[in-house]
Structure 1
Amino acid sequence: MDLKTRVVYNGQSFTKLGVSARNRVQFEGLIQHRRSSHSTKTSAAHKTIFSGIQPTGVPHLGNYLGALREWVQLQNGATEGTKLLFSVVDLHALTVPQDAPWLRNCKKEMFATLLAVGLDPARSAIFYQSDVSAHTELFWILSTVASMGYLSRMTQWKSKLQLPENTNLEDSAARAKLRLGLFSYPVLQAADILVHRATHVPVGEDQRQHLEFSRNTANSFNHLYGSIFPLPEALISPAKRVMSFKEPTLKMSKSHPDERSRILLSDTPEDIHRKIKGALTDSEPQLKYDPDNRPGVSNLIEILAHFEGKSCEEVVSEFQHSSLGALKGHVASRIANHLQPIRERYIALIENKTGYLEDVANQGSQVARSNAERTMKQVKEALGL
């Protein structure tokens, strides 16, 4: 009489027949097939894309062209099995003091915008960073291997404190103004990426330094404790920095005192036409792409090129016999037409009283927590915790 043993593999139950060589071969072949299928599935799912954005309220045009539109394109073009995680990184906002009601409102506005631009909660995990405690848990662990020297050379804390890039920690004024959270900001950013074992991170060119720090920190940890983290690769956005409409030598920012310096994704078509019409350019009659000498005009040319999928040279050629006013009118119309459906979806989401945004955030945080907890289990085993 054959002895039968119930065996569970990958969540499914099989019966192993103990004495029949023929049945044993068939069983082992079935198990090998299951393992092979599982291995193929794991390989296909190996690519993990993560990125985050601070809760500054409704994003501006630079945020959209430099990050959000790229996220949507990555999502829509991702192969089956690719993990996609996008986060409102609210803990990063705490490097400067925040008013609690204002921060809560900004978080909601940013989250609604992520859905309005086209991120799909059925395809991507969209969540608040503070809802996934593994981010801060890994932050502390990575702090034990992160290089102080490397951190001291980072530009984030210097720019936030409006210090020259050559400032170092020997500077007494810098030490008096600097807070640990701001100094260690890149370590938390590395934890955001590594806790999800991200293989690819979409970033703007100005964030490349932070990703290199994440790779360096991951490499340091792996060298000490074993290969836990992949070294994430940068997916650099093709969009160059969108510049201020009032000071075109500066990057577009919501911190600029003149609200006409930027276009928000919630702006009406009238707002957009007004801001583009008032954009600072110059008095030269001939249209030319020259960022160094004609930054205002070049900024408009770059924006139009991104929206129409053309090169800056093609835009100049198309408008070489047109006035600057005609170019501004075309840019404004192109932006307004593109952003109008986003604005409408955003308003509908903000005004929704059914708790839809909260449900999506909860759903996304559950997926993110599950993914992060798998990482933390490996990390703790490697550390002996």
Structure 2
Amino acid sequence: MMRFYFLSVILASKSTGSVDEDEDQKKLMVEIAVSEHTQLSWILTCMVRLPRLQHLHQWKAKIATQKHGGTVGLLTYPVLQAADILLYKSTHVPVGEDQVQHMELVQDLAQGFNKKYGEVFPVPRSILTSMKKVKSLRDPSAKMSKSDPDKLATVRITDSPEEIVQKFRKAVTDFTSEVTYEPARRAGVSNLVAIHAAVVGVPVEETLQHSAGLDTARYKLLVADAVIQKFAPIKSEIEKLKTDRGHLEKVLQVGSAKARELAHPVCQEVKKLVGLL
């Protein structure tokens, strides 16, 4: 259950039209504790044509790896994401490059609903994170994913230092020992450079200057060490919080109550407009 708490939370914040929200307004909650998410998701699902969802890149990538095709839940998951965003009348959403297409769906749903029923939802804007996409350590043509069956492909915050070192040692590169940043030609090494730059917080060019003279084998260890140092305080805090189950449950209870307070009137407004009340 504790793992469920850490993985199944979303950030619910009252929209003020500003990207810089007051920290006191941010709450963590388990999504399933707020039924308005699934209610709005169903209403929005009724506004989406099947081909639109089938043409989404992530859907096509997922079903390509599944023996019996994808489930309906997987197909309609982007609509649930849209409900998560629109339910709180969000104006800005930080996303990675792989979620841009899903955000376009969110924007289209907001505009479509507003056109049909009146101005209800702000059309949210995407805020691209500085590192648009973290690639898999085992297949640098694909994004790093927690659901990847190859355990060496994904680095987790909760990994031990030994596990992180092993994963970077096994990272796919090429037969050239020099460290360069050429995503089109040297995807594996370039992925390591991008990760290194992101965790250290410096531009790629500066990262390359610091790694001058290193071969890829030694550079992998350098990147692993940088990731370990970056994750260490976060991992320590996670371990500390896991020992206080009561505190975690209280945080989720407070967050869920606040989320319901914000979500209920919006969901009721939508239901009334579409004729469900």
TM-score above 0.5: yes
Shift of 1:370: 0.7
2:124 aligned with 1:232, yes or no? yes
Q: Which position in structure 1 is the counterpart of 2:154?
A: 262
Task: Give distance in 1, aligned partners of 2:136 and 2:47.
Answer: 39
Matches of 1:111 and 1:178, distance apart in 2:
21
User: How far 1:130 sits from its partner (Å)?
Assistant: 0.6
SS in 2 for 1:261: coil
Q: CA deviation at 1:286?
A: 2.4
Equivalent positions of 1:317-332 (< 5 A) are 317-332=209-224
Match of 1:126 in 2: 28
The 10-residue stretch of structure 1 (227-236 or 134-143) with the greater mean CA deviation from structure 2: 134-143
**3-state SS in 2 of match to 1:184:** helix
Residue 219 of structure 1 and its aligned partner are, at CA, apart by 1.1
Q: Is 2:242 aligned against 1:381?
A: no
Does 1:300 find its partner at 2:192?
Answer: yes
Question: Per the alignment, do residues 111 and 184 of structure 1 end up closer, same or farther by CA in structure 2, a change over 3 Å counting?
Answer: closer
1:159 aligned to 46, 61, 66, which one? 61
Once residues 351 and 111 of structure 1 are traced to their aligned partners in structure 2, the CA distance between those partners, rounded to angstroms, is 18
Q: What is the CA deviation profile of residues 284-315 of structure 1, one whole-angstrom value per residue up to 9, with x for unaligned ones? A: 23221112222221111111111222222222
User: For 1:113 and 1:366, how far apart are their aligned partners in 2?
Assistant: 14
**Number of corresponding residues:** 266
Equivalent positions of 1:188-337 (< 5 A) are 188-337=80-229
Distance 1:219 1:266 in 2: 40
Q: Which of 110, 113, 127 matches 2:7?
A: 110
1:146 and 2:48 aligned:
yes
Q: Partner amino acid for 1:136?
A: T
**Cα distance change, pair 135–325 in 1 and its aligned pair in 2 (3 A):** same
User: In structure 2, the residue corresponding to 1:267 is in which secondary structure?
Assistant: coil
- Report sequence identity in percent: 37
Kept in 2: contact 1:134–1:373 (CA 8 A): yes
4+ residue runs over 6 A deviation: none
Describe the shift of the 1:181–1:256 C-alpha distance in structure 2 as closer, same or farther (beyond 3 A): closer
Question: What is the rounded CA distance, in whole Å, between the counterparts of 1:184 and 1:339 in structure 2?
Answer: 33
1:4-83 aligned within 5 A? none
Can you give the 5+ residue segments of structure 2 that lack an aligned partner in the other structure? Answer: 12-21
Structure 1 position 246, deviation (Å): 2.5
* Root mean square deviation of aligned Cα: 2.7
Q: CA separation in 1, counterparts of 2:9 and 2:161?
A: 20
Judging changes above 3 Å, is the alpha-carbon distance between structure 1 residues 200 and 182 closer, same or farther for their aligned structure 2 residues?
A: same
Q: Which moved more, 1:219-228 or 1:292-301?
A: 292-301
Please name the residue that 1:357 is paired with: 248
The alpha-carbon deviation at position 178 of structure 1 amounts to 5.1
TM-score (norm 1): 0.63
Match of 1:12 in 2: none
CA shift, 1:358, in A, is 1.1
Could you say if the C-alpha distance between residues 374 and 341 of structure 1 is closer, same or farther in structure 2, counting changes exceeding 3 Å? same
- Alpha-carbon distance, 1:147 to partner: 3.0
Distance 1:157 1:127, change over 3 A: same
Change (3 A) 1:379 1:111: closer
Alpha-carbon distance between aligned partners in 1 of 2:71 and 2:231, rounded to the nearest angstrom: 39
Counterparts of 1:377 and 1:257 in 2: how far apart (Å)? 41
Please say if residues 87 and 267 of structure 2, whose CA atoms lie closer than 8 Å, have aligned partners that are also in contact: yes
Q: Equivalents in 1 of 2:218, 2:32: separation in Å?
A: 47
User: Greater shift after overlay, 294-303 or 344-353?
Assistant: 344-353
In structure 1, the gaps of 5 or more residues are 1-103, 115-119, 165-172
Does structure 2 retain, via aligned residues, the 8 Å contact 1:121–1:364?
A: no
Deviation at 1:265, TM superposition (A): 0.4
Mapped contact 2:53–2:59 kept (Cα < 8 A):
no
TM-score by length of 2: 0.85
1:352 to 1:113, Cα distance in 2 relative to 1, 3 A: farther
SS at match of 2:127: strand
Give the Cα separation in 2 of the matches to 1:344 and 1:212.
37
